[in-house]
């Protein structure tokens, strides 16, 4: 069975409430008539509820940029998966490089968040990716493998069907330096192979693996033409309705 491509916009901590609503509406309009691909947006937490209203009548999938592993409790600054679901969120980005490197989230924390998301019915996007120094030292596969296997610890085969993986080389994020299509495909194939080892080949073939890191209208077509690239996790270019529209309509 072919994998349905997923084009995902990570808005990070950008855009006012009004700008978020306007962009949500623009993305909804871009999706009119699209049946062969899925489109997701992840606005900053504070505007999720309002954006949910703005895209309510569209197929646009709403995601959170992180999620707590418990339903409720003394977790200042965190968002409950149950509350997120209540307001219309159905996916969550987890282990983004900014969470790992700016906020020091460990593989163990990412794993807890991922298990919690699955328990409460949110589909996780598990982000993995190496630093520039890792790549220069030939450590790319080792780093990606560790983040993947630790992130998926305790996830059953049945649960894995709900998981999306995103490969985001840290050196390509927000730098304008995209991984070449060959570099990206090489790591995506490695990730799929690793999933086949951790689970089984047939299941690994079903899992979507997104590429993220300076995806733009100019490079999306060649990236999406790679056999193991099933979508894009887009930062900067997702903030501009025209750029994101073009990315959604990759050929
Ligand atoms: P850019 O597309 O701005 O490089 O960001 C990628 C990213 O971090 C998406 O999660």
- Concatenating the DSSP letter of every residue in 168-215 gives --GGGTTTS-PPPHHHHHHHHHHHHHHHHHHS-HHHHTT--EEEESS-
Asked whether the predicted pLDDT for residue 94 surpasses 60, the reply is yes
Q: Among 249, 245, 244, 215, which Cα is nearest to 229's?
A: 215
Q: Which pLDDT band, with edges at 50, 70 and 90, does 176 fall under? A: confident
CATH for 6-248, options being 3.30.300.20, 3.40.309.10, 3.20.20.70, 3.50.30.50: 3.20.20.70
Mean pLDDT for the chain overall: 97
Mean pLDDT of 70-89: 97
Residues recognised as catalytic: 96, 168
Instruction: Give the ligand 1 atom nearest the CA of 173.
Output: 4
Average pLDDT value for residue range 141-146: 98
10 lines ligand 1 (CB under 6 A): yes
pLDDT at 1: 54
Helix (H) or strand (E) holding 243: helix 241-248
CB of 66 sitting under 6 A from ligand 1: no
Give the confidence band of 70 by pLDDT, cuts at 50, 70, 90: very high
Which pLDDT score, from 0 to 100, does residue 14 have?
98
Mean pLDDT, to the nearest integer, of 191-212? 98
Mean pLDDT of 206-217: 97
Cβ of 215 less than 6 Å from ligand 1: yes
| Range 85-106 average pLDDT | 98
Distance separating alpha carbons of residues 79 and 45, to the nearest angstrom: 8
Query: Quick check: CB of 116 below 6 Å from ligand 1?
Result: no
Are 128 and 167 in contact by the 8 Å Cβ rule? The answer is yes
Q: How confident is residue 174, by pLDDT bands cut at 50, 70 and 90?
A: confident
What pLDDT is stored for residue 2 in this prediction? Answer: 87
pTM: 0.97
CB 68 within 8 A of CB 45: no
187: Cα separation from own chain's centroid: 16
- pLDDT of amino acid 128: 98
Residue extents of the structural domains in the chain: 6-248
As beta bridge partners, residue 94 has: 126
* CA distance linking residue 50 with residue 19, whole number of Å: 11
Distances (CA, A) of 169 to 138, 173, 189, 218: 13, 7, 15, 19
Query: If we measure between CA atoms, which residue out of 58, 37, 65 comes closest to residue 224?
Result: 37
Angstrom distance (rounded) from CA 62 to CA 84: 10
Confidence of residue 11 (pLDDT cuts 50, 70, 90): very high
In a mutational test of the pocket of ligand 1, which residue from 9, 212, 247 has the highest number of ligand atoms less than 8 Å from its CB? 212
Distances (CA, A) of 197 to 34, 202, 203: 34, 11, 10
Residue 118 CA to residue 144 CA, distance in Å, equals 21
Residue 23 has pLDDT above 80, yes or no: yes
Q: What pLDDT was estimated at residue 177?
A: 84
């Amino acid at each position: 069975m072919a994998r349905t491509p997923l084009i995902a916009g990570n808005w990070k901590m950008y855009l006012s409430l009004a700008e978020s609503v306007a962009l949500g509406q623009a993305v909804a309009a871009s999706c009119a008539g699209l049946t062969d691909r899925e489109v997701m947006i992840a606005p900053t937490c504070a505007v999720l509820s309002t954006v949910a209203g703005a895209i309510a009548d569209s197929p646009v999938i709403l995601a959170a940029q992180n999620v707590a592993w418990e339903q409720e409790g003394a977790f200042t600054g965190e968002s409950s998966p149950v509350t997120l679901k209540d307001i219309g969120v159905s996916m969550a980005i987890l282990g983004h490089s900014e969470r790992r490197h700016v906020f020091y989230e460990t593989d163990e924390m990412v794993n807890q968040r991922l298990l919690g998301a699955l328990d409460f019915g949110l589909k996780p996007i598990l982000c993995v990716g190496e630093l520039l120094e890792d790549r220069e030292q030939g450590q790319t596969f080792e780093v990606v493998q560790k983040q993947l296997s630790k992130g998926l610890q305790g996830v059953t085969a049945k649960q894995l069907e709900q998981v999306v993986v995103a490969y985001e080389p840290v050196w390509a994020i927000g730098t304008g330096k995209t991984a070449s299509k060959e570099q990206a495909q090489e790591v995506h194939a490695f990730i799929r192979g690793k999933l086949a080892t951790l689970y089984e080949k047939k299941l690994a073939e079903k899992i979507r693996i997104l590429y993220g890191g300076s995806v733009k209208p100019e490079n999306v077509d060649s990236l999406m033409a790679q056999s193991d690239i099933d979508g894009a996790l887009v930062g900067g270019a997702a903030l501009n309705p025209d750029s994101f529209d073009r990315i959604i309509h990759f050929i």
